[in-house]
Amino acid sequence: MNRSSNLPRIVIIGGGFAGINVAKSLKDAPVEIDLVDKRNYHLFQPLLYQVATGELDPANIAAPIRKILWKQKNVHVALGEVTAIDFDKKLVDFDGGELDYDYLVIASGAQQSYFGHDEFRAHAPGLKSIDDALEIRRRLFLAFEEAEWEADEEARRKKLTFVIVGGGPTGVELAGAVKEVASETLPREFRNIHSGMARVIIVDGGQRLVGPMPEDLGVRAQQVLEKMGVEIHLNVHVTDVTDEGVVIGDEKIPAENVFWAAGVQGQDLAKTLDTEVDRGSRIVVGPDLSIPNHPEVFVVGDAAHATDATTGKPVPGLAQGAIQTGRFVAEIIKAEIAGNAPKERPQFSYYDKGSMAMIGRGNAIAAIGKIHYGGILGWISWNVLHVMFLVGFRNRFKVMLDWLWNYIWKTRRSRLITGDPEVHIKQLYSEHQQPVIKPHRGKRDKTEDE
């Protein structure tokens, strides 16, 4: 309220890496910014798999958007989901109200893609939000709890089979962490099962793991994971996912736990807009990251189908892509508002700072320029880099503590099974378990002993 100024109005949709960087880069600009997000927190997505596997708490990797931007007086944060955009009237509708803009920046990110098989979703949660991560965490740790009391060997094996669909960086990190939970964290806590026997399987349609990274690192990741005991199926697609497990090619793998790390697509809203989207619902933008005929509408981060003006390659859907496109767009807006913009807008070029993926305890792969490496050195780089980029010193410090502690003691603190256990346990036991449930050790037969 009381914002009746005539300053140019910027609406930013989304508070991820891209949206936050647009807002922050406009810190000193004479503008009024509205940032709308359907969540109240900014999420450090690269560490989400660690929440899913009990290594970190949600609040370690998520910070309230208001908290991040509270000092920046030209930003107004709104919680809500955008329901419509009118490019001609320059209006954004969200479920908390209506916003008009002079510039619009769409930074709404990506959602999990099931490649047209949305019916897989209920059986195979993805990994895009804190709620997703908590759902995977719940299933992961519940699987061992149930297996502990499952008398039937086949059913037990099914409970202890984890299929990760997708062998990109997220899939590889998730698989490594699940295997670590099974073989390092849990064995000493269970009495009936050998949790280390849990099968962890990666399925990927490509020829090798971590497709976006250099080939030698894909090979390296595979070697490390196989040595850890992770089974890897390449060149094969998942054709069905049910309560019973997954079907890959002609083979059926009985598994109660399927986690989806296979693909992403733009938000559904993108398809409703009066502009071109690609097959993955990403909005197609020009070299200046604006959409055709609307130079005042930019798309950044995972929401955009953008092309690197230098290499002609697509801008990768990584944190760096989001940060760089966000800052690029903010610079254009700043210059135009200040009236010192060049006649032609600049064209976006991606600067590849490298990429990394954690594989397991003390082992990560990294590609920085032409240098590819792995092992303990990769692991150290991975840790340093991820902590450096965590938003807010407080989180950094706590995350470092957690990692150190977990590394030394081979433990994981955040293993709570939450989300109405009364409902879930009952459902799971009744849906998946044998009709007659017997404890593993059976009832002691006193007469026999006497």
Cα–Cα dist 15/17, whole Å = 7
Instruction: Give CA–CA dist 135/126, Å, rounded.
Output: 9
Number of C-alpha atoms within 13 angstroms, CB side, residue 304?
35
Q: Does 62 bind a second copy (CB under 8 A)?
A: yes
Say which DSSP state 53 is in.
T
Catalytic residue, chosen from 173, 180, 184, 256, is 173
* Among 153, 191, 312, 388, contact with a second copy (rule: CB under 8 A): 191
Q: Are 298 and 105 a contacting pair, CB within 8 Å?
A: yes
* Residue 173 appears among annotated catalytic residues: yes
> Which neighbouring-strand residues pair with 43?
62
Residue 350 near a second copy by CB under 8 A: no
Q: How far apart are CA 292 and CA 286, in angstroms?
A: 7
DSSP of 87-113, one letter per residue?
A: TTTTEEEETTEEEE-SEEEE---EEE-
Site for a second copy, residues 384 to 413, rule: CB under 8 A = 394-395, 398, 401, 405, 411, 413
Contact status: 418 vs a second copy (CB under 8 A): yes
CA distance 286 to 291: 6
Q: Does 437 bind a second copy (CB under 8 A)?
A: yes
Q: Is 341 in the site for a second copy (CB under 8 A)?
A: no
Query: How many angstroms separate the CA atoms of 55 and 61, rounded?
Result: 11
For a second copy, which stretch binds (CB under 8 A), given 242-250, 280-288, 332-340, 432-440?
A: 432-440
Of 23 and 77, nearer to a second copy (C-beta) is 77
- Residue 8 in contact with a second copy, rule: CB under 8 A: no
> Cβ atoms within 10 A of the Cβ of 351, count?
9
- Contacts of residue 444, Cβ cutoff 8 Å, sequence gap at least 6: none
Pick the closer one to a second copy by CB: 158 or 220.
158
Among 66, 237, 361, 410, binds a second copy (CB under 8 A): 66
The answer to whether 288 and 332 have CB atoms below 8 angstroms apart is: yes
Q: Write out the binding residues for a second copy, residues 83-102 only, by CB under 8 A.
A: 91, 95-100
Which of residues 181 and 225 has its CB atom nearest to a second copy in the complex? 181
Query: Site residues for a second copy, window 122-141 (CB under 8 A)?
Result: 130-131, 134, 141
Q: Which of residues 140-159 bind a second copy (CB under 8 A)?
A: 141-142, 145-146, 148-149, 151
Residue 63 as a binder of a second copy (CB under 8 A): the answer is yes
Active site residues: 173
